[in-house]
Amino acid sequence: MCDQSPQFNGIIILIVGVVFSVAAVLLGFLTVPQLVENAVRKSSVLQEDTLVWNLWKNPPFTIRTDFYIFNCTNVEEVLTGALPRITELGPYSFREFRDKDIEKSDETRVFYRENRLYYFDQIKSGSLSIHDLVTTVNPIYMAASKFLMDIYVLNTTKIENFLSARNQSVFMTVTVDQLLFKGLSLLPYIELYQDYQLEYPILDLPDLPDSIIEDPFFSLFPMKNETNDGLFEVNRGMNDPNLFGRIQSWNESPYINFWNGNESYCNHIKGTDGTMFPYKLNLTDRIYIYQTDLCRSVYAVFEKEETAEGLSGHRFVVPRSVLAHPSEAPENICFCTDPTNQKSCLDTGVIDLSSCYGGTPLIGSAPHFYNGANQFVYGVIGLDPEKEKHETFFILEARTSLVLRAIKRFQISIHMDRYRLPSTDDLRSVFLPVFWYEEAIQIDEETASNFNIFTTIHISLGLLAITGTLLLIIGSVFIAYHFKGDKDLTEANERRDSLTSH
C-alpha cells in the first residue's frame, strides 16, 4: 500500500488553501469594503483636528503659480488698424501660500476667509524679473473710453488731451509687478471724473465708492497679494456626505448678481471651492466649482483613470461647453448681454467679465483661447492653443476624492474696440490677451502615505488570495500524486499476479 502521508498532507494543505481563499473573498468583498467605507466616511467631514480639516485649513504643500505675460510688439501698427502681434514672456513663477481664517462655525457649517500670499521665486523664474517691462493695452483707458459711449455731451478730444498729458493712452508700458500685483494708478481718471461731475451736474454722475478713493489702484490679477476672496460658508458634511465642502453662500448670499436673472443658472453658486469634494462622486455627473476670478461656477467632467503619487485617481477636465455659445450650450444664455437675443452672445471660448470688474472690458478664457472660436485665436498674431499646455484639469483620489493633483489655467484679455476716445478710431475689434496663469498643486509624499493604507489592504488581500490559490494547487497535486501512486501500485500488482498465474 502506498504511503498515506502525501494524501494527508495534501488534504491539510487543501483545507488551508480553501480557508485562505474563502477569507480573501469574505474580506475582499464584504468586511474590508465596509470597514473602508466607514473609515472614509468618518474622515470626509470638516471636523476640527482631523487630517482632512488640517489639509483644508492649512495646506502643507506649496502651491505654484506661474504667470505668462503677453508683450505687444507692434503698437504703432495696431493704432492704425493692424492685427496685434504678441510674444509670450514667462513663466514668472510665484510660491503661493494659503491660510483660512475661521470666522464662525456651528454643527453643520463653517464660515471662513482664505488669505493668500505670493512670493516671487527667482530661482524658478531664471533670468526673468518682476521688474521687467511689458507693453500691453491699458485696461483703464479702454474702460473710460467705453464708459463715454453714451455720454455725447462731453468733448472726447478734450478728455483725450487731459489723459495724454498724464501719460495715459491706449497702450502702456509697465512692470510685471505693476500689472499683476501693485496695480495701475486710477488718480488721473478719478481727477477727470470728479472734474466733469462738477462741470456737468446735469449728467447726475454718482459719487465714486470710498474704496476707490482710498485705494486708487487697479490690478488685473483679481486675487491680489495679501488679500482674500470674500466670506465663504461651506457645509461640513456631517449629516449628508454628499454636501461635504459645498458652498452654501458667498458674502452671505447663495447667489451672485453679475449675470442676467437674479436666481438664474449663471448666478447660482454651485459646488465647492475646488480644494475638496464629497467622497462618493458619480463619474457621469458634472463636478461644480465656484471660481471668484471667473465670477461664476464652472464644472468639470470625468475624462479617464490616472495615477498620481502612486495612488489611483480620476481625472476631470473643464470641457468646451463651459464657455460655449448658447447654440452649443443653451444654459449659457444668461451670460449674454441680452438673453432674448443670441446675437448679443460672445462666441465659444470666452466670457465677458466687465459686469463683475466695474465695467472694465475684461475677457476671461482658457490660455491662448484653447477650445475657443477661430476668430479669437487668429484675431492676434502669436497664439498657439494646445491641450497639454492650456487645459484645466484635476485628479481626485479614487476612494476619498482627495485632490491629488490640480492645474488651473486662466487667461485675462482686454476687448479692444472703437469706443469714444479718438485714439481708438482705427482699432480693430479684437480680444488682446494680457496674461495667463497656471496654478498647480500636487499632494506631497508624506500626505500621500496616509492614503497608502488602501493600497496596503488591497495588496494584502491579493497576497491572501494568491496564497490560498497556491495552497489549493499544491494540496491538489499532493492528493493527485497519492492517487497516482495507488493506481501505479495496483497496476504493478495486477501484472505480477498475471505473470505468477502463467
SS (H, E, C) 341-369: CHHHCCCCCEEECHHHCCCCCEEEECHHH
- Do 261 and 397 lie in one domain? The reply is yes
Give the pLDDT of residue 76: 97
d(CA 98, CA 232): 15
Cell reading at 56: 483644508
Beta-carbon contacts of 459 under 8 Å, excluding residues fewer than 6 positions away, are none
Q: Is the pLDDT of residue 481 over 70?
A: no
- Do 321 and 273 lie in one domain? The reply is yes
Region at 428 (left for phi over 0; alpha for psi -120 to 50; beta for the rest): beta
DSSP characters over 70-122: EEES-HHHHTTTPPPBEEEEEEEEEEEEEEEEEEEE-SSEEEEEEEEEEEE-H
* Residue 48 domain flag: no
* Residue 22 domain flag: yes
- Do 312 and 364 lie in one domain? The reply is yes
251-263, pLDDT tens digit by residue? Answer: 999 999 999 998 9
Q: Is the pLDDT of residue 317 over 70?
A: yes
- Do 371 and 439 lie in one domain? The reply is yes
- Do 178 and 271 lie in one domain? The reply is yes
- Do 471 and 439 lie in one domain? The reply is no
Q: Is the pLDDT of residue 20 over 80?
A: no
Q: Is the pLDDT of residue 16 over 70?
A: no
Q: Is the pLDDT of residue 459 over 80?
A: no
319-364, pLDDT tens digit by residue? Answer: 999 999 999 999 999 999 888 888 889 999 999 999 988 888 999 9
pLDDT top residue among 153 and 303? 303
- Do 254 and 355 lie in one domain? The reply is yes
- Do 488 and 430 lie in one domain? The reply is no
414-444, pLDDT tens digit by residue? Answer: 999 999 999 999 999 999 999 999 999 988 7
* Residue 476 domain flag: yes
* Residue 200 domain flag: no
Partners of 405 in the β-ladder: 395, 442
- Residue 24's pLDDT band, with cuts at 50, 70 and 90, is very low
Give the pLDDT of residue 384: 97
Detail the DSSP E strand segments found in 366-425.
393-397, 403-416
Is the Cβ–Cβ distance between 179 and 137 less than 8 Å?
no
Look at the chain and report how many structural domains it folds into: 2
- Residue 50's pLDDT band, with cuts at 50, 70 and 90, is confident
- Do 357 and 460 lie in one domain? The reply is no
- Length of the chain in residues, anyone? 502
Burial class (CB in 10 A: 0-12, 13-18, 19+), 263: exposed
Whether the upstream peptide bond of residue 91 has omega within 30° of 0, thus cis, is yes
Asked which of 443, 464, 484 is the last residue of a domain, the reply is 443
Q: Is the pLDDT of residue 280 over 90?
A: no
Is the Cβ–Cβ distance between 108 and 81 less than 8 Å?
no
- Do 11 and 142 lie in one domain? The reply is no
- Do 343 and 484 lie in one domain? The reply is no
* Residue 404 domain flag: yes
* Residue 207 domain flag: no
* Residue 53 domain flag: no
- Do 88 and 150 lie in one domain? The reply is yes
State which residues form the domain around 129: 61-183+219-443
pLDDT top residue among 328 and 62? 328
pLDDT (average), residues 146-152: 85
* Residue 208 domain flag: no
pLDDT top residue among 138 and 200? 138
Amino acid at 86: I
pLDDT top residue among 301 and 201? 301
